[in-house]
Amino acid sequence: MSRKLEGAAPRTRLPARSVDTHMHLYAPQYPQLTPGPLVPPDCPGIDEYRRLQRWLGLEQVVIVQANAHRDDNSCILAALDAFGENARGVAVVKPETPESTLAELHQRGVRGARIMQLPGGAVGLEHLLAVNARVREFGWHCIVQFDGREMLDHVPLLQQIDNPFIIDHIGKFLGPVTPQDPEFQALLKLMDRGNCYVKIAACYESSHTGGPEYADTAALSRALIAHAPERVLWASNWPHVSQSVDNAPDDAVLLDTVCGWIPDQKTLERIFVHNPRDLYDFS
């Protein structure tokens, strides 16, 4: 079964210069590296993603290093070269990554470093401060993903960051959490510091109520948007590698669902255009 890359257009008409802030690309010449997760058998790449962009009405993109490729950023660099100024990248950086490598990554469009405290991640939270210290010199930020049920444990670490950083996937609460629970309230307080962004993405990965409405992650997303819309980002999380191809969400339907959580056009433009353009240095 092939991935759905076209169909009925979304009901939502996205504003010009809308940015997808988190997706992954693969290519046969860049194999899976141990102990990362497997590369999808169909290797969804640049051509497939461009079809998705046309279908959804997207113009610019942030390509995030796939866990399957560990710290070999070759695949995203090739994609950045292909997309040009319409793309930025999030790479895997280690504390010992040479300065010359960081400079090359920056020149080719990388603006962030990935920290992943979940199975398959290449660089975990124990390296966050060291990696952040390296990349902030280039005006980059770290994107951070962990099980949100551990939020209270990680807040002291995250509070040590005084430049921008991003919490992925609505906080990635892998157990049921409500907007009133202390773990989620701690996330809101991080946003209040002024440098913490949260990405509205992959609602299907942590929802316990399920689609198509994802009522539980919808409630969290609405609370984030109401609390600090200036620090919320949207992302497709395409090609949804946590799901099988036949169980992956319909991207047009998912986009409409998420946009239904956004109260008005001004906020939609803030989340899809202004916030990511400021953070990712798009021209």
User: Is residue 9 one of the residues assigned to a domain?
Assistant: no
User: Rounded to the nearest 5°, which phi and psi values hold at 185?
Assistant: -60, -35
Spatial CA neighbour of 234 closest among 194, 274, 195, 206: 274
d(CA 213, CA 39): 29
Domain count, the chain: 1
| pLDDT digits (tens), the chain, 283 positions | 688 999 999 999 999 999 999 999 999 999 899 888 999 999 999 999 999 999 999 999 999 999 999 999 999 999 999 999 999 999 999 999 999 999 999 999 999 999 999 999 999 999 999 999 999 999 999 999 999 999 999 999 999 999 999 999 999 999 999 999 999 999 999 999 999 999 999 999 999 999 999 999 999 999 999 999 999 999 999 999 999 898 899 999 999 999 999 999 999 999 999 999 999 999 7
User: Is residue 203 one of the residues assigned to a domain?
Assistant: yes
User: Is residue 109 one of the residues assigned to a domain?
Assistant: yes
For residues 61 and 49, is the Cβ–Cβ distance under 8 A?
A: yes
For this structure, is 237 an active site residue?
Answer: yes
pLDDT at position 1: 61
DSSP labels for 18-81? -EEEEE----TTS---TTSPPPPTT---HHHHHHHHHHHT--EEEEEPPGGGTT-THHHHHHHH
Catalytic residue (one of 86, 237, 247, 275): 237
H or E stretch covering 265: helix 265-269
As given in the structure block, the two tokens for residue 78 are 């090739």
CATH of the domain at 45: 3.20.20.140
Spatial CA neighbour of 8 closest among 251, 184, 261, 226: 251
User: Is residue 7 one of the residues assigned to a domain?
Assistant: no
Q: Domain of residue 174: give its range.
A: 19-280
User: Is residue 91 one of the residues assigned to a domain?
Assistant: yes
User: Is residue 254 one of the residues assigned to a domain?
Assistant: yes
pTM of the entire predicted model: 0.97
User: Is residue 93 one of the residues assigned to a domain?
Assistant: yes
Q: Is 43 left (phi over 0), alpha (psi -120 to 50) or beta?
A: left
User: Rounded to the nearest 5°, which phi and psi values hold at 198?
Assistant: -130, 135
User: Is residue 11 one of the residues assigned to a domain?
Assistant: no
